[in-house]
Amino acid sequence: MSGVKRVNGVDLHWLEAGSGDPVLFLHGFPFDARMWSGQLSTLPGGWRGIAPDLRGFGESGGAGEPLTLDLLAADVAALLDALETGTAVVCGLSMGGYVAFALWRRRPELFRALVLADTRAEGDDEEGRRNRARLAETVAAEGSGAAVDAMLPKLLAMTARPEAIERVETMIRSTPPETIIAALTALAERPDSTPLLGEVTVPTLVIAGAEDAMTGPETARALAAAISGARLEIIPGAGHLPNLERPEAFDRVLGGFLRSLDE
C-alpha cells in the first residue's frame, strides 16, 4: 500500500505495510523507499512499516529544491504527525541514518527505538566534500547514470546477486539529477552528530555489512560503543546495502530486535 500527503510544504509519498506499532524506514542516497520493499513485506506481525520517499526522491515532490538533512527530518516528522503514529522505531540506512540523527535533534520524543544501518555519526572531511562536488559536476553534465558508474562499485559486496545490482541501478537512474546534486550538497554540509550519541536513551541496534567499503564494521563498532546499551550486528557477505544484499539475514536481525522491544 502507498500514500501521498502534503506535509511541510511538499507532497510526500510513502510505502506502507502491516498494522500495529510503527517502524519508520529511511532510505539511503541516491535511492528511494523501494529499497525497503523486502523489509515491508517481511515485518513481524504487530508492526506497521512506513517508508517515505524523502523530498526530491522517488515519487515525492520537491525535485530541484535545495535540500538539507534537517529539512528531510522536518518532512518525516510532519508525516509521522499527519499519520498520528505516536512514537516509532526509526530505522535509517546510510543517509537515512543521517536523517535519523537530524530527527533526534529536532524531535527525540518521536523515537521508540533506533536502528542505524551502514551509517556514521561524523560529518564529511575535506576530501569527502571534494568528491561530492566532483560527482555533482559529473551528474550535472551527464545525468543520473553517472552516479551509477561512480557509486555502484563501492556499494555492493563482490558476491552481490544480479537482482540486487539491478534494483540499485534502477533506483539511482530514476533519481532526478537535480535531486542527486542537491542531496550531495546536503550530505557535504551535514553536521557532526557524534555529540548526540551519548544522549540516545532508546534501545538501539547498529548494523553493518561485513564488506561495506564505505561504512564498514569498524565504523559500526565505534558507533555502537558510543551509544549506551546498543546492540551490534555484522551481516556476512553484504556491502553497504545489507537489506538488499542479504535480506534474510537483515530481516532476522531486525525482527529479533523488534521482538526484543516487546519483552
Q: Residue 118: what are its φ and ψ, rounded to 5°? A: 45, 55
Instruction: Report the C-alpha gap between 184 and 140 in whole angstroms.
Output: 12
Single residue of 18, 28, 56, 177 touching ligand MLT by CB under 6 A: 28
Grid cell 512506513 is found at: 50
Closest separation in Å from C-beta 20 to ligand MLT: 28
- Establish if 210 lies at the interface with ligand MLT (CB under 6 A): no
Closest separation in Å from C-beta 242 to ligand MLT: 12
Single residue of 165, 188, 202, 214 touching ligand MLT by CB under 6 A: 214
Question: In sequence order, what DSSP letters do the residues of 187-235 get, joined into one string?
Answer: HHTPPP-HHHHTT--S-EEEEEETT-SSS-HHHHHHHHHHSTT-EEEEE
Closest separation in Å from C-beta 187 to ligand MLT: 5
Q: Identify residues 171-200 at the interface with ligand MLT (CB under 6 A).
A: 187
- Between residues 83 and 151, which has the closer beta carbon with respect to ligand MLT? 151
**Residue 115: which H helix or E strand, with range?**
strand 111-117
For residue 41, what is its C-alpha cell? 513485506
Single residue of 17, 95, 156, 249 touching ligand MLT by CB under 6 A: 95
Count of residues of this chain found to bind ligand MLT when the rule CB under 6 A is applied: 7
- Give Rg (Cα) of the chain: 17
State the residues that interact with ligand MLT by CB under 6 A. 28-29, 94-95, 187, 214, 240
